[in-house]
Structure formats: C-alpha cells, structure tokens
Structure 1
Amino acid sequence: MTTAFTLDRKQRAWCAELRALAADTLRPLADEGAPGRVNRPLVAALGRHGLLSRVAPADGPVSAMDLCLLRESLAQECTEAETALALQGLGAHPLLRWGTARQRARWLPEIAAGRVVTAFALSEPDAGSDAAALRLRADPDPDPAPDPGGVGGWRLTGEKCWISNAPEADLYTVFARTGPAPGSSGITAFLVPADRPGLGGSPLEMLSPHPVGTLVFDGVPVGPEDVVGEVGGGFAVALGTLDLFRPSVGAFAVGMARAALRAAVDHAGEREAFGGPLKNLQAVSHQLAEMATRTEAAALLVLAAAASYDAGEPGVARRSAMAKLFATETAQYVVDAAVQIHGARALRRGHLLEHLYREVRAPRIYEGATEVQRAIIAKELYR
C-alpha cells in the first residue's frame, strides 16, 4: 500500500517525465521570456501539454498530491514554468471550487488551455499576511442593473498590491469588503475580467523574476453573476484556497532545494582544493549531509500534508502550515549553503544558484509568512 512516505512507480515515472519536459521544452520558452512579465508562450505550452488541466480540471477537484508533484518536479528544472503553473491554479481555484456552473463553463476551459491568464488578488498595501484587514470596498452600485432576482451590483474602489501576474492577467479573483463588519466578516470574492472599466495597475520590480504588480480599482462594476461563493463568504474562499496551495508552496521549495543540493554535490565532487576534491573536506561533506537530510524531511512533510488533504482528514490547516513553514525555511538554508560551497562563481548573474538565491526568498513571505504559519500551528494545537 502506498503511504505518504513513498511514491509508487507510476508517480515516480510521471515526475521523471515532468522534469524532462521542463528541461527540454519549457526551459527554452522560459529563457525567451522577459523577467517580471507574464510569459504567455510558456503558459500556452503548459496548457498544450495538459499540465494546467491538473490545476484547473473541468470535472473534479484538484489533487493536492498531484499539485505537489507537479510543482516539485518543474521547480527542479525550470522555476519559471513551476510558477506560471502555480499562479494559474491559484487564480482559478476559487472559481473551480466555489464558482457557479456558468462561471466554470465560461472560464475553466480557457484557463486549462493556457489562453486565459489568472491571478489571485487578495493582498493590499496594508493587508498582506493579515488578509482580514483588507480595505478594498465593494459599495452598492447607485445605479445598478438588477439581475432577475432583484439583486443589484457593486463598485470596487481601492488598491491591491503584491499580486502575481498583475497587471497583465486576463481574469482576477478579487476579494473586497461588501459589509461594514471588521475583520474577516463581510468579505466577498468576485471574478473580475481585466477589461472591466476602471481597472488599472502597474508592474513592480521585485527580487524574484516572476510577474508581480499592483491593481487600482476606480469604481469597477461587478454584479451578482461575478460573485464566487456567497456574498460575505469570501474569507472562507481565500482560506480554503490557501489550505490547498500552502503544501504545494512547500513542494516548490523542495524542488529548489533538490536542484541546489544536486549542484552542490556535483561541484564538491569535481572541485579540487587543498590537495583533493572538496567532498573530502569534513566541513563540506557534513554540510552536504545536513542539506540532504533537511531536504528529505521537508519533502516527507509536504507529501504527508498533501495526502492528508486528499484524504479529507482533520487538521489540514495545521499540516499545510507545517509543510510550508519547514520546506521554505529549509530551501532557504540549502540554497544558501550551496552558494557557500560554490563560492563566488555562484554569485555571477546567470548561474543556477544565483537564480535560485533570488527565487527562494519570496516563498517564506507569500501565502502567509513564516511567522503566520507558526501562529496557525500554535492556534491549531489548542483547537
């Protein structure tokens, strides 16, 4: 029987196929893209090879295990492909799980094909990890066109910040405050196409190379047909999405850690110093052993969280937080140690480890910073 601690032969073969696809097909497309911009040929290739249908399936839930295996495998060979896939899944998941049949039929086939780029618009300038503090207003439209049920619409006013794929995405899942209650109450999720009047934004130059930007809402109209889930139920939509994706952020981190570890092992075996290869130095060999052990532990924690999610077991929030916390912190340590073993050559622009060094920092912050994950875990201990 397969457990959370082993992958069966089929899963291992799939991971090998994913790594080969990333190295041979997706990596060249990523290299042709501009850093900090949406790479539409890469997104289209993910759709063409059937990978986006795994994160935005038309006829069923997303498998947390599949999502983690996808993200870890792609990250080992092409972090840009991994991130493009993850962002499509993150933006689409509220629609997939809580959207109406009409919403799903309209958007999911286009997302899965890579023809529509999505984004998850939760964070704001003053509401990052404290997502319940968001201020984007959804004010009742003073001159609405009521739907057949007599329900009017809203106008979105405010700003979102640190939004991946913004401002180039075609479709945003936007979280706004429809009620006066503070905190998590009164937040609603909306689908907002990029061509809505009053919607603008600008890109941000970030340390990591994937696209991030701001969104500005100047009375953007939304109606009942744009609501995802229930009015006032948006915070549950956000948390439910993050519970699925947090372990897979850990899987992304594990993939980067594996790539860095592999590079460090190769370099230590080939690099001559002090009369022999670096691997013969106890300080280096013990460092490699520590890197390998922590990476394996992080991988197991991620797999356990994914298996727990798919099985519908209790404690998903705690396991998801543990997986993200430990894996992202581990990846930061492993990449940094790999850079140290390589020395100055790893700091040159274009080196694999220089790239990973920029990539590895952000996952410790987004989708709930390390400190937030510790708070979640502690809270769950007393639940």
Structure 2
Amino acid sequence: MTAFSLNPEQTAWCAELRTLADERLRPLAEKGEPGRVNRPLLEALGELGLLEVLFAGEAPGAGPASRAPHATSRTPHATSGALGLCLLRESLAYACTEAETALALQGLGAHPVAAHGSARQREQWLAPARAGRAVAAFALSEPGAGSDAAALALSAAPDGASTWRLTGEKCWISNAPEADFYTVFARTTPGAGARGVTAFLVPADRAGLTGTPLDMLSPHPIGSLAFDGVTVTGEDVLGEPDRGFRVAMTTLNRFRPSVGAFAVGMAAAALDATLAHTAGRDAFGGKLKDLQAVAHQVAEMATRTEAARLMVHAAAAAYDRGEPDIARRAAMAKLLATETAQYVVDAAVQLHGARALQRGHLLEHLYREVRAPRIYEGASEVQRTIIAKELYATRSADQSAEQSTPQSATREEPSV
C-alpha cells in the first residue's frame, strides 16, 4: 500500500463504516440535541469498537486488535495508525457528521492521556473514555489565546510542593461543560512562552471548576470553562511540568491530517449529492448536467476533493512512518482539505439552488458544519504560517549542511 492508493481491505472497511454510520449511528444522532454531548451516540461508538482507532499504538493494550471485535470485519492492519484514523473520520463524516464529531472530540481530549498519562491516569480514565462512558475534552484555547496558543494565560500558581491552583478561563472548548474530564493547559512559569506550559488532567467535579455552553453556528457541543483556584497536584500532570506545549502539539499533529479527512468526507457527500441532483434535474430542455458551466463546476469539485484526499492520506502515512516533516505535511493537509471542503459545499449549494437552503436539507447541514474546521485546531492562516516556517527552516538546514561539507566531497577533482 502506498500513500496514494488504498488496498482492497481498506476500501471495503470504508464502505462498511459508511453503512454502519448510516444504519446504526445516524438514528442516534437524530435523537440528540444540537450543541449538547450525545452520550448514547458516544457509547455506541465505543460499543462498536470505533473509539479504539483513536488510541491504536498510543498506549499499552490500546490497539484495535483486542478491543474492537464488533466494529467491522476488517483486521487491525486496515484500521491502525493515523491513516486508519483518517479513513474512519472521512467515512463517518460522509454519512453522519455528528458521529464523526463525537469521535474526534473524544480523541482530542483523551489522546494526551493515552500518549502522556501515568499508569494511574490511564487506568482511571482511559478505559471508560475508550468505551465512550467518560466524555473527554481538550482545553487549550482561551478568550485571549486562540491561534496564539503559546500566549495562554490560565495561571497555575504554586501552592506548596507539587501543588498548583488554576485560575482563569478557557473558551471554545469542545464537549464543555458536559465532559467528565479535561486535558487542561496552564501556565506554570510566567513569561516563558511555550516553555512554561503544563498539561493537567482535571476531573470535571474538581472544586472551583464551572462551565457554560456556547451557542455556535455548527451544532457542536462547545462551551467555556472558569477556574476559580482549582487545585491540581503532581499526580494530575500529563507528561512533565513546563513541557505541556509538547503534549498539545503532538496531539494536534496527530489529529490535523484527520481534520482534513473530516473535511474530505463532507466534500465527498456534497459532491455525490450534486452528481445525483444535476443528473436528474430538468433544465433548459435537458438535464442540468448537460450545461457546460455545470459540468465544469462538478469536474472542478471532484478534482479538488480527490487532491485533498490524496494529501490527507500522504500526511497520515508520513506520520505513521515517523518522518521528520510531520508538522509541515499535517498543516498542508488540513489547510488544503478544509479550504477545499468549503469550496465544494458552497458550490453544491449553488448548483442545488434554494432547496439546499431549507432547514434539514443535507447541504444546509453541511454548510453549517463545514465552516468550523477552517478555524479550529489551528486556523488556515496558522497552517500557512507553519508551512512557511518549516520550509524556510529546511532551506536553512540544507544550506548549512552544504557549507559544512568539504569542497572535495561535493565535486569531482579534475583528472590529469
């Protein structure tokens, strides 16, 4: 298997997932309340073994081999790694965006525990999170620190040996305020930028922690959190003190390509809806698809969707191989895929006309869903900044390597 083609097993798994999402998960999603955590839906994701893909290879016993017997008939190889996560998110997004979102938000909140948590933390929280019984949340953004995550101001003031008190706010936090536990990033060393941030695992019932739901354009459960002297100890630290920014970035680097997969799934759903509509819609003495302007628009939608899919798969495969340029490739994948999905869904709405604006229409739903991914987990502008920074850093490193190489090693001596 290469990054640019899926083997038959993976293709079949994607088809199974679409069917599963449509038949088993969509009915649960439709019973949920927009903007609220849908616990039955999350528990169903756990019962079907789909949450296991979030943690494959990240913690002892977390692979799908032993814990996902009911998900599909696929073997663990088809579902493993970042590529498996991308295939899962794209397939769920195509058929049921609510199921995809519930899975992704659970992964963001619980992945730091799987990858950086202590044995005690994993034992207490990871099993229920993987089963969908404990709702997780990733609490990084603040009212004054969204795209500039290193500027966060939530204070973790020392209060004795290995004890801190958290004071401040978090905002636009997925699954807040209904989560059972939060991965919280706080400043333990003032003035140290990214080097002075610590990640904490904070149970929702910790004294001094309160939250408020936010009414957003997309129907996702999102809220704000207030910390009024919330006590945390060394046992709550994820990773090491003052190294929490690494916890945040490794989590985001893992999930950024799969945000692109979420976007590709929505684009594919919009494209297929457009193909069906334009092939059957009578217009100007023929079918809508017979108009060259329409046919060319559909061709552009399909080409961009496929290009985004390939870049997402390539970035995920690079992550699985442990290649050194993960940050750049993940940023490129998220940027291209989310911008492409916005374009494709918008074009689909235009080709469908007024019917696509009716509440309850697939494209009306996708139109509200597709806007958010261009902002969360690093806005498009942040992704461009990351890409440019990585490109110039690579160029500087290459130039330094060339300058340090002896001249005799870089060119052949003339013969005499």
TM-score (norm 1): 0.96
Shift of 1:56: 3.1
Tell me the equivalent position of 1:307.
317
Judge conservation of contact 1:56–1:111 (CA < 8 Å) in 2: no
Q: Which amino acid aligns with 1:339?
A: V
Judge conservation of contact 1:56–1:108 (CA < 8 Å) in 2: no
Shift of 1:34: 0.2
Judge conservation of contact 2:181–2:203 (CA < 8 Å) in 1: yes
C-alpha distance in 1 between matches for 2:378 and 2:52: 26
Tell me the equivalent position of 1:295.
305
Runs of 4+ in 1 over 4 A off after TM superposition: none
Shift of 1:60: 4.8
Shift of 1:290: 0.2
C-alpha offsets along residues 154-196 of structure 1, whole Å, 9 cap, x if unaligned?
Answer: 1100000000000000010000001123321210000000000
Tell me the equivalent position of 1:15.
14
Tell me the equivalent position of 1:213.
223
Matching of residues 1-383 of structure 1 within 5 Å? 2-57=1-56, 58-60=60-62, 63-141=81-159, 144=160, 151-383=161-393
C-alpha distance in 1 between matches for 2:311 and 2:55: 24
C-alpha offsets along residues 300-336 of structure 1, whole Å, 9 cap, x if unaligned?
Answer: 0000000000000110000000000000000000000
TM-score (norm 2): 0.89
Judge conservation of contact 1:321–1:376 (CA < 8 Å) in 2: yes
SS of the aligned residue for 2:202 comes to strand
C-alpha distance in 1 between matches for 2:61 and 2:254: 18
Judge conservation of contact 1:90–1:119 (CA < 8 Å) in 2: yes
Judge conservation of contact 2:52–2:62 (CA < 8 Å) in 1: no
Which of structures 1 and 2 has the larger relative contact order (alpha carbons within 8 angstroms, sep 6+)? 1
Identity, % of aligned positions: 72
C-alpha distance in 2 between matches for 1:21 and 1:220: 41
Q: Which amino acid aligns with 1:55?
A: L
C-alpha distance in 1 between matches for 2:355 and 2:53: 38
Shift of 1:63: 1.2
C-alpha distance in 2 between matches for 1:205 and 1:266: 33
Which of these two proteins has the greater Rg computed from alpha carbons? 2
C-alpha distance in 2 between matches for 1:191 and 1:98: 10
C-alpha distance in 2 between matches for 1:24 and 1:346: 23
Q: Which amino acid aligns with 2:21?
A: A
C-alpha distance in 1 between matches for 2:137 and 2:188: 20
Judge conservation of contact 1:272–1:278 (CA < 8 Å) in 2: yes
Shift of 1:269: 0.3
C-alpha distance in 1 between matches for 2:321 and 2:44: 31
C-alpha distance in 1 between matches for 2:95 and 2:320: 26
SS of the aligned residue for 2:195 comes to coil
C-alpha distance in 2 between matches for 1:60 and 1:108: 9
Q: Which amino acid aligns with 1:367?
A: E
C-alpha distance in 1 between matches for 2:377 and 2:46: 24
Tell me the equivalent position of 1:148.
none
C-alpha distance in 1 between matches for 2:47 and 2:55: 13
C-alpha distance in 2 between matches for 1:189 and 1:24: 38
C-alpha distance in 2 between matches for 1:94 and 1:371: 25
C-alpha distance in 1 between matches for 2:62 and 2:312: 22
91-100 or 284-293, larger mean C-alpha shift: 91-100
SS of the aligned residue for 1:367 comes to coil
SS of the aligned residue for 1:251 comes to helix
Q: Unpaired segments of 5 or more residues in structure 2?
A: 64-79, 394-416
SS of the aligned residue for 1:314 comes to coil
